[in-house]
Amino acid sequence: MKRTIVTLLLAVLMLTMCAACGTSPAEITPEDPEVVESPITVTLIVTMPDGTQTTHSLTTTRYTLGEVLRDYGLIECDNKNMIVAVDGVDANWDKDQAYWAFYIDGEYAMHGVDDEAIADGNTYAFEYTIG
């Protein structure tokens, strides 16, 4: 009997709290994983095969870096979703053991651009690398 009363009181308390905020439990939905609430800006530095660098300032409401880079047309991927070109320059491992090394705030990234949730002010970099 006591357990039923306690459960009932907890249910009433939860409904009261939701009514106080103006949100019913049915209206609560998870955040869209593909967009952030307000635009953020990140920096992308691309180091080309000849050592020259291009800096891009990217403003977006997307959630992952991969989405942002695709929106800006800065990457091309193969059918395995591996980056084969950055800023229009191909890197071909099979031809000359070249690839695009990916860095986050100066540190070698341990995962890909589609797994990187962006944060305002971060600096990302791709460096054309051989072997």
How high is the mean pLDDT of the chain? Answer: 78
pLDDT at position 82, please?
87
Spatial contact of 112 and 90, defined as CB atoms under 8 Å apart: no
DSSP state string for 8-70:
HHHHHHHHHHHHHHT--GGG--PPPTTEEEEEEEEEEEEE-TTS-EEEEEEEEEESBHHHHHH
**Burial of residue 75, with CB atoms counted within 10 A of its CB: 0-12 exposed, 13-18 middle, 19 or more buried:** buried
Where are the domains positioned within the chain?
1-30, 35-130
Query: 66-125 pLDDT, tens per residue?
Result: 999 999 999 999 888 889 999 999 999 999 999 999 999 999 999 899 998 888 889 999
Among the four given CATH numbers 3.40.140.10, 2.170.130.30, 3.30.420.40, 3.40.50.620, the one describing domain 35-130 = 2.170.130.30
Higher-pLDDT residue of 77 and 14 is 77
Q: Is the pTM of this model over 0.75?
A: no
